[in-house]
Structure 1
Amino acid sequence: MTLDPTFLIVLTISVTILGLSKGGFAGIGMVSTPLVAAFSDPLTAVALMLPIMLVQDVVAVYLYRYDFDKALLAKMIPGGVIGVLAAYLLASSVPEWVIKAALGAVSLLFSVWQVILMSRGVPEIPARPRHDTALGVAAGAAGGFASAIAHAGSPPFQIYVMPKHLRKEIYVGTSVMFFASLNLMKLPSFAALGFYSRDILQLSLFYVPLAVASSWAGSRLVRTVDPRAFNFIITLILFFVSFVLLWQAYIDAVA
């Protein structure tokens, strides 16, 4: 892992964006991991962000400890285990350029999904479709895989949960509990892959105060800044970064 000034500036920007996302600019955190990955290897980028997210999860879980849908989590979390395990098996058995290509592809799909959300909203499906349990497990697996590769598991979660028209507090709380569970699942995987050296942990913990401060700033700025416009700008950045990652993967593959 290179700790040159450019990398540290990018990491600072990424952690700030992640904090703003937790503070109220929902969705913009999607760019944090791909942005760091463009200046390091992709798994190190995910590993660096994970301890920061776990600290933020503690606060979020406490705030929504009474507001979540247990039945939905009972379907999605087992799928999440499958997705995280699949990502671990992929990461442990393929070259780095494959992971970078997967990260670029997931980031590209995420940015396209955000554009669809902004223009059309979530595609409507029956609130209680046939084979709902299987759909919940599949959504959990897809969310777990995308989360483990790029911290970008929101689209499968949204596709499955939003059409159920939960109360806002229940929807947010269910999201908090699901992704907090995924983040805990990812920790042993990255430890097994050898990504939690002392240097990485120290660097992650160093940025925790910035993440907390930017979350607080986000909760204030969201009242004066149009989140939709801000989200659109971040989506454009992610769209560009995803192509950078795919190009880097191509160069590494043919080298």
Structure 2
Amino acid sequence: MIELEPWAWAALGVAAVTIGISKTALPGGNILAIALFAAVLPARTSTAAMLLLLMVGDVFALLAYRRHAHWPTLLRLAPAVVAGLVVGFAFLAIAGDGIVRRAIGVILLLMIAVTLWRRWRQSRSDAVDTPRGGILLAGTYGTLGGFTTMVANAGGPVMSMYFLATRTPVQVFLGTSAWFFAIINLVKVPFLAGLGLFHGPVLLMDAVLAPLVVIGALVGIAVAKRLDQRLFDRIVIVLTIAGAIYLLF
């Protein structure tokens, strides 16, 4: 087991609950968990430890929202995401932590600006029941999503911006996100295993924290049922901005 101070365990406990909530109610909200893990653990170790806990959350997200996924969106994103994962793996192997964090922060702020601009140009009356978005939009967000999720488990905010940009309803947003990250997180395992990041102490620590992810996921399912579309969109945008600022500074 990794030896940590009580305050550090408390921080990781809060992070684990946050991971569960972000998986079932607030995609992109795991930025708080990223910050807490990075504050307590070495950067590369935190990436591996978080990935396993995210996969626990993925199970509950799929149980709750698997039927709401929009598969054409996932298929449209797939090629770009794979490219982003490969680039992210190469970047993770050669770049320092500071460069990685700032690069992701800049990307997130740019995505927020583009999304808000697009939404300003479109009226609410144009909303539809299924996601919209062309190949260029999917390619841009997919590549950035794959890149950021590989280097820092921070793909949630980028993909949240994509789903907001395509005006995706809450349930479809959550269902498509659930399948997207469940698949992507499984793909990431051999990459990080190849870097030797899944050692015994990390696995034991995750075993202790996993029940808190379950609690957070159940809380998130209850909360999501009470969120309307406008409030949901605003919360996601605020969390993404906060995450981008954190990564920059």
TM-score normalised by L of structure 1: 0.75
TM-fit CA distance, 1:156: 3.8
Distance 2:234 2:142 in 1: 29
TM-fit CA distance, 1:207: 0.7
Distance 2:103 2:190 in 1: 24
Distance 2:27 2:132 in 1: 26
- Alpha carbons of structure 1 residues 85 and 232: separation in structure 2 relative to 1, 3 Å: closer
TM-fit CA distance, 1:173: 1.4
TM-fit CA distance, 1:175: 1.6
- 1:71 maps to 72
- Check whether the contact 1:107–1:242 (CA below 8 A) recurs between aligned residues: yes
Distance 1:89 1:103 in 2: 15
TM-fit CA distance, 1:192: 0.6
- 1:215 maps to 217
- Check whether the contact 2:22–2:220 (CA below 8 A) recurs between aligned residues: yes
**1:189-208 aligned within 5 A:** 189-208=191-210
- Alpha carbons of structure 1 residues 111 and 32: separation in structure 2 relative to 1, 3 Å: farther
Distance 1:237 1:167 in 2: 23
TM-score normalised by L of structure 2: 0.76
Choose which of 214, 237, 247 in structure 2 pairs with 1:242: 247
SS of residue paired to 2:21 = helix
In structure 1, stretches of 5+ residues that fail to align are 245-255
- 2:55 maps to 54
In structure 2, stretches of 5+ residues that fail to align are none
- Alpha carbons of structure 1 residues 221 and 65: separation in structure 2 relative to 1, 3 Å: closer
- Alpha carbons of structure 1 residues 128 and 207: separation in structure 2 relative to 1, 3 Å: closer
Q: Quick one: which amino acid aligns to residue 154 of structure 1?
A: G
Q: Deviations over 1:6-54 (max 9, x none)?
A: 4322211211222232342443222211221133222211211111111
CA RMSD of aligned residues (A): 3.5
User: Once structures 1 and 2 are overlaid, which stretch shifts more, 35-44 or 204-213?
Assistant: 35-44
Choose which of 152, 171, 174 in structure 1 pairs with 2:173: 171
- Alpha carbons of structure 1 residues 87 and 237: separation in structure 2 relative to 1, 3 Å: same
- 2:98 maps to 100
**1:1-255 aligned within 5 A:** 3-94=4-95, 98-107=96-105, 110=108, 122=119, 132-220=134-222, 238=243, 241-243=246-248
Q: Percent of aligned positions with the same letter in both sequences?
A: 24
Q: Quick one: which amino acid aligns to residue 182 of structure 2?
A: A
TM-fit CA distance, 1:112: 8.0
